[in-house]
Amino acid sequence: MWFVTWSKPSTQRFPRCVAQRGQFLQVVRVKIWRSSVPGERGWWRGRSVSLSSCQSTARGFSPGFPPQSGWRQSLCPTDARVLFLRTHRHGDMLFLYPSSPAGSSSETMDTSVSQSPRPVGAPQVVEDDIDQYLIKQDGKIYRNRDQQLCRHGPLGKCVHCVPLEPFDEDYLNHLEPPVKHMSFHAYIRKLTGGADKGKFVALENISCKIKSGCEGHPPWPEGICTKCQPSAITLNRQKYRHVDNIMFENHTIADRFLDFWRKTGNQHLGYLYGRYTEHKDIPLGIRAEVAAIYEPPQIGTQNSLEILEDPKAEVVDEIAAKLGLRKVGWIFTDLVSEDTRKGTVRYSRNKDTYYLSAEECITAGNFQNQQPNICRLSPDGHFGSKFVTVVATGGPDNQVHFEGYQVSNQCMALVRDECLLPCRDAPELGYAKESSSEQYVPDVFYKDIDKFGNEITQLARPLPVEYLIIDITTTFPKDPVYTFSISQNPFPIENRDVLGETQDFHSLATYLSQNTSSVFLDIISDFHLLLFLVTNEVMPLRDSISLLLEAVRTKNEELAQTWKKSEQWATIEQLCSTVGVQLPGLHEYGAVGGSTHAVSAAMWACQHCTFMNQPGTDHCEMCSLPRT
């Protein structure tokens, strides 16, 4: 049973009135009590609700009967009689009988309490699947009964064994290794865990631009006022992070990416495609699992990288989405060989130099702005980003290590509004731009400790980039996971023409001839091969490959066999046969035309040196080895 207490002031009196049929009596705010037995006062719920839904369907007061203080009247929401009201006094109580059973009503009320409300004016957004999952989780850190400190029974709880909140800093600091940043969802629980349940929480994005629409003065640089002027920014180390762990599914993904540097000595870059999952080592944590690396067009040297425009970027994102993947980050190398005989690399990124340069922070901030994190608590519909940065560099043991980072939301705002510049002679320092006639830049400060141990505030010209960086642990699993199959002779990676590794039908025919697996799904489950089938200029399969992508995503061999019998795959096989490479079991794949005599009469590739020989010869003209 629900008791309702009026929250009107005791000095206010309603005028004498009679509610006509069809009119609604609106109750603005009430306080709810609950009792299991009618007439008994229950415990305090501390909720304020609106009774506008019960306005006209209630049993009313008898005409001419003024309710006294402490008087109670039963209201039945299923009765259609009109409510007649003469006077009300502060403290008068009403009984509310829910139309559904008491248990379901309480469950509905508890659910509404646990979910944090959406700020006023915030747009309706659909958050990521991992965010929707973590919102429903309890998130508390449960502890066992301490045999030495707990003095209660097995069913009791005390301060030594009561569950902790997911944002408890003492617990995070005592983990091994210590966790410096709480998870983003733990941070949300901290904001919404008060008495108001996050009613007034709004995660606002920082803006460094002048607000438009101010008509009281001429536009900048002729005028500016406190209404349109952006506030000054004091950089603080961010206490939370949107991603708590980065995990490569297996070592092969990273090894194939590093092969470019091993063969050329030039630095290289790639985009990480994977998915976001729960990271159980940190309360309400998020993990970015990397399943594949796509290498865009680029120009790399021993100490620089230049990303070129990629005309296939949209197609790659579309194919990845159909495979259940998304772009979760980017990776680049910063490797310098120290001893080629030992295979060691130079340890250059440490506390004495830098972890990320200012230019790399600006690039990471630009990528994070392109991949915003959808958030229901932000008036803009997005807040921060889950896009991560991975650096392949030398570690303390002079071996290749993978270090993960993100830049803070403050850095994202400075980069988005073009307020941050790198320093030419000091890569570890950034520089906040000064205002000009074209752009107003707010003052940017950071706090430091002087030689006397005092905390001082300094202008961010220059700026140590450590204030902008959030480090993320990067790991490999003990038991490797394979979204895509691994082959001893894998299909070439895209945009590696400088190595002589090209994606064409000759390389496809060579790949198919060297993979003798009887399972077609294992042969075709290669991320780079699927991209070639979609993006090749001879016969792109963008409109007819959905069934195959669904088979790879669900690991369904029957769907793969169904697609293998299609005309598209038969045409691909026929194109492969024209390059002179004999495919095993060609008739099983349903190729149309092209007899064995015609294939043998074409040019053939040597299995030892891959030289293309003229038809009619039994030995390779280059290495003189036999054809078979």
Give me the pLDDT at residue 606, please: 80
Q: How many CA atoms are closer than 13 Å to the CA of 219, on its beta-carbon side?
A: 8
Q: Is 12 exposed, middle or buried (0-12, 13-18, 19+ CB in 10 A)?
A: exposed
Average pLDDT, the chain: 80
Average pLDDT over residues 97-117: 44
For the stretch 214-260, pLDDT in tens is: 888 888 888 888 889 899 999 988 999 999 999 999 999 999 999 99
Q: What is residue 189's three-state secondary structure?
A: helix
Separation between Cα atoms, residue 58 and residue 75, nearest integer Å: 5
Cβ atoms within 10 Å, residue 116: 19
Q: Whole-angstrom distance between the N-terminal and C-terminal Cα of the chain?
A: 88
The whole-model pTM stands at: 0.75
Integer CA distances (angstroms), 174 to 88, 145, 170, 180, 571, in order = 57, 18, 6, 10, 61
Give me the pLDDT at residue 119, please: 59
* DSSP E strands, 63-102: 72-75, 93-96
Give me the pLDDT at residue 3, please: 41
In the chain, the largest separation of any two C-alpha atoms, in whole Å, equals 116
Separation between Cα atoms, residue 421 and residue 188, nearest integer Å: 32
For the stretch 540-574, pLDDT in tens is: 998 899 999 999 999 999 999 999 999 989 989 88
Indicate whether 305 pLDDT > 90.
yes
Which run of H or of E encompasses 253?
helix 251-264
Average pLDDT over residues 97-120: 46
Indicate whether 14 pLDDT > 50.
no
Average pLDDT over residues 205-214: 89
Percentage of residues of the chain with pLDDT beyond 90: 49
More confident residue, 51 or 154: 154
Average pLDDT over residues 2-20: 41
For the stretch 501-519, pLDDT in tens is: 999 999 999 999 888 778 8
- pLDDT tier, 57 (very low <50, low <70, confident <90, very high otherwise): very low
- pLDDT tier, 270 (very low <50, low <70, confident <90, very high otherwise): very high
Give me the pLDDT at residue 83, please: 42
